[in-house]
């Protein structure tokens, strides 16, 4: 622990890394990040839940041009973003390690360096190819 | 058959050139309104109800300071990409509910180069989303069309055909912005922005204004040789399962879209079927959007779009000419004006007086579709009837 991350509320655990969503007691819908109400059925009985850490690429793109602020980076290089089907929910996040992907590829959750703040590395979540 | 008391018709229209503009935002609005009034021989004093919208900072209802302080109700609309269609629906409803006869609808915007940056807080999302580079509209469009092409087995090269068609139509339209023809290969070979979308597949924010004059009942036929009946204008929002911009998560269940719902509602209200449509406009913020929206509106069976582009279905001589003024891709997107530009183009095509390429033959039924954040769509059905052509 002690790791610096872009937003602690995204995670239910950092070691091992697990994302935190929320699940609706009425309709079982999962959402990410966790929120206090259910947008699917308007239910209010909603509780935090750890999300699966493995899934498949549902869609992807590669960001070829540096986004405008509020995007933060130490040095821009093209990076991939995807929607990952985790089963109960499809989560958007970075795709790590390469810039050319295929829908259906198996991936798993990992931490990735987002930027450096006062010499300290700040991490976000991403998904890497699962061996 | 002509001019039932609760039938509302388009009797006049005007648009400015779209592109970069140096003047004041409301110069565009005023030019469009004066043009539309002249088009049907009316003056501002004849207008009994007005509705208008912009995504900018000016107040549309303050146009009365330029046009004349006649005391009429002027409703202001701010519904993003659906602004024009919502203003049109508001004016239609105003004419019927209040039994007035003449309404004016106006939409305009004058966006700076590269506008449309978004802040997470405005969409109720944490700062991390923007800071990690995911709050990017081009990325959203790319992720959405990438999935759509995969699910419907459409060749990504079709994206090049969409833009090439847009620039081809615009080349013969005197008021479009980007009027230089571009080949399919030039579109595909331009800089990759977000795979699979290249630079020449995107529209840009720019400036423009459009105005329409509406008339209720038999009066329409005194003002215009060929009034176009506004048979439907329907607005819908997102339901669970829609795939909208700035979504950190999606539900894995059945995919829905406000475009599907708005189009179905418009066809139902007008009593026509998608296959009856002879000329259409669909939201083409980028080339993938046009492909998806042809499917979502029912104008083409999902998956058949590729064959449609390859066989020329959407060209002026084809089965269903689409975005015949060059659409957003070639006109840019002044948000407040864009939906009314669509109506202007379909109206003039139905009347046989298109400013650019006129679609041949006798056209009777037209359709328009807009779609935008945060998950809204508006569709219209326009019908030419009455006077022979
Ligand atoms: Zn629920």
The reply to whether A43 and A95 lie within a common domain is no
Burial grade of B385 (CB within 10 A; 0-12, 13-18, 19 or more): middle
Same domain, A35 and A74: no
Q: Nearest residue of A to residue B150 by CA position?
A: A103
Which residue of B117, B128, B286 to mutate against A (max A Cβ within 10 Å)?
B128
B159 and chain A in contact, CB less than 8 A = no
- A62 with A24, same domain: the answer is no
Whether the pTM exceeds 0.80: the reply is yes
Q: What are phi and psi of B382, to 5 degrees?
A: -120, 135
Average pLDDT over residues B331-345: 97
pLDDT recorded at residue B389: 39
The CA distance from B125 to the nearest CA of chain A, in Å, is: 9
CATH of domain B8-113+203-384: 3.40.47.10
Q: What is the pLDDT of residues B36-81, one digit of tens each?
A: 999 999 999 999 999 999 999 999 999 999 999 999 999 999 988 8
Q: Is residue A97 part of a domain?
A: yes
Nearest-neighbour CA in chain A from B143: distance (Å): 5
Tokens of B303: 């998956």
Question: Is the pLDDT reported for residue B386 higher than 80?
Answer: no
CB half-sphere exposure, A113, CA atoms < 13 A? 12
**Do residues A61 and A102 both lie within one domain?**
yes
Same domain, A64 and A96: yes
Q: What digits encode the pLDDT tens for the residues B205-251?
A: 999 999 999 999 999 999 999 999 999 999 999 998 999 999 999 99
Decide if B139 touches A, using CB distance below 8 A. yes
Vertex B204 angle, CA B29 and B15, to 5°: 25
Residue A62 belongs to domain spanning:
52-131
Domain count, chain A: 2
CB contact under 8 A, A70 and B120: yes
Both A63 and A100 in one domain: the answer is: yes
CA distance A31 to chain B (A): 6
B124 in contact with chain A, both atoms CB, cutoff 8 A: no
Contacts of B252 in chain A (CB under 8 A): 85, 87-90
Cα–chain center distance at B310 = 24
Q: Which residue of A has its CA nearest to B192?
A: A64
Token digits of residue A13: 């655990």
Question: Looking at residues A70-82, what average pLDDT do you find?
Answer: 97
Quick check: B388 pLDDT over 50? no
Cβ neighbours, 10 Å, residue B75: 19
Q: Which residues of A touch B195 (CB under 8 A)?
A: 60-62, 64, 100
- The count of residues in chain A is 131
Q: Is residue A1 a part of any domain in this protein?
A: no
Contact between A83 and B131 using a beta-carbon 8 Å cutoff: no
Nearest to A67 among B126, B136, B240 (CB): B136
Q: Is pLDDT above 60 for A75?
A: yes
Both structure tokens of A75: 């040095």
* Cβ–Cβ < 8 Å for A94, A129: no
pLDDT class for B112, splitting at 50, 70, 90? confident
Sorted by sequence, the CB contacts under 8 Å of residue B75 that are 6+ apart come out as B50, B51, B52, B61, B87, B90, B91, B94
User: What residue spans define the domains of chain B?
Assistant: 8-113+203-384
User: Separation of B1 CA from ligand 1 center, angstroms?
Assistant: 49
Q: Which of B120, B124, B131, B288 is the best mutation test for A, with the most CBs of A within 10 A?
A: B131
Inter-chain contact B146–A70, Cβ cutoff 8 Å?
A: no
Q: Which residue of B has its CA nearest to A77?
A: B133
Q: How far is A20 from chain B (nearest CA, A)?
A: 12
Same-domain pairing of A89 and A103: yes
A 10 A CB-CB count for A83 gives: 26
| Same domain, yes or no: A129 and A65 | yes
pLDDT of residue A131: 78
Inter-chain touch A63–B194, beta carbons under 8 Å: yes
CB contact under 8 A, A91 and B248: yes
| pLDDT (0 to 100) of residue B115 | 52
């Amino acid at each position: 622990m002690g790791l610096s991350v872009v937003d602690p509320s995204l995670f239910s655990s950092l070691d091992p890394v697990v994302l935190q969503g929320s699940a609706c007691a009425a309709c079982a819908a999962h959402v990410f990040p966790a929120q206090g109400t259910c947008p699917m059925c308007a239910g209010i009985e909603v509780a935090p839940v750890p999300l699966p850490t493995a899934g498949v690429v549902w869609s992807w793109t590669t960001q070829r041009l540096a986004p405008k602020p509020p995007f933060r980076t130490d040095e821009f290089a093209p990076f991939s973003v995807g929607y990952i089907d985790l089963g109960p929910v499809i989560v958007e996040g970075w795709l790590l390690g390469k810039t050319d992907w295929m829908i259906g590829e198996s991936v798993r959750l990992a931490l990735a360096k987002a930027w450096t703040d006062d010499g300290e590395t700040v991490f976000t979540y991403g998904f890497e190819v699962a061996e | 058959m002509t001019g039932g008391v609760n039938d509302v018709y388009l009797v006049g229209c005007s648009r400015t050139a779209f592109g970069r503009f140096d003047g004041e935002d409301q110069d565009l609005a005023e030019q469009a309104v004066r043009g539309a009034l002249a088009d049907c021989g009316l003056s501002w004093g004849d207008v009994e109800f007005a509705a208008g919208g912009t995504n900018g900072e000016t107040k549309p209802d303050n146009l009365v300071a330029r046009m004349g302080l006649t005391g009429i109700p002027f409703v202001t609309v701010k519904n993003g990409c659906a602004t024009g269609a919502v203003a049109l629906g508001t004016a239609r409803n105003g004419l019927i509910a209040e039994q007035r006869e003449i309404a004016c609808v106006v939409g305009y915007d004058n966006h700076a180069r590269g506008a449309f940056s978004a802040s997470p807080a405005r969409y109720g999302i944490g700062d991390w989303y923007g800071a990690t580079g995911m709050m990017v509209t081009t990325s959203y469009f790319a992720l959405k069309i990438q999935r759509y092409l995969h699910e419907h087995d459409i060749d990504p090269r079709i994206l090049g055909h969409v833009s090439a068609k847009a620039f081809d139509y615009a080349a013969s339209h005197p008021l479009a912005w980007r009027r230089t023809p571009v080949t399919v290969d030039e579109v595909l070979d331009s800089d990759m922005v977000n795979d699979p979308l290249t630079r020449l597949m995107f529209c840009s924010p720019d400036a423009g204004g459009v105005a329409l004059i509406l008339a209720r009942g038999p009066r329409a036929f005194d003002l215009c040789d060929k009034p176009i009946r506004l048979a439907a204008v329907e607005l819908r929002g997102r339901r669970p399962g829609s795939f909208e911009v700035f979504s950190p998560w999606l539900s894995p269940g059945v995919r829905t879209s406000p475009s599907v719902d708005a189009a179905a509602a418009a066809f139902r209200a007008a009593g026509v079927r998608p296959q009856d449509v002879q000329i259409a406009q669909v939201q083409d913020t980028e080339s993938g959007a046009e492909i998806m929206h042809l499917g979502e509106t029912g104008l083409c069976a999902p998956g058949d779009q590729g064959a449609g582009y390859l066989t020329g279905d959407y060209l002026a001589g084809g089965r269903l000419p689409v975005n015949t003024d060059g659409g957003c891709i070639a006109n840019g997107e002044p948000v407040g004006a864009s939906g009314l530009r669509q109506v202007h183009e379909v109206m003039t095509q139905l009347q046989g007086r298109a400013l650019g390429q006129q679609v041949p033959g006798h056209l009777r039924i037209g359709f328009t579709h807009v779609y935008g954040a945060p998950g809204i769509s508006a569709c219209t059905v326009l019908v030419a009837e009455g006077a022979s052509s």
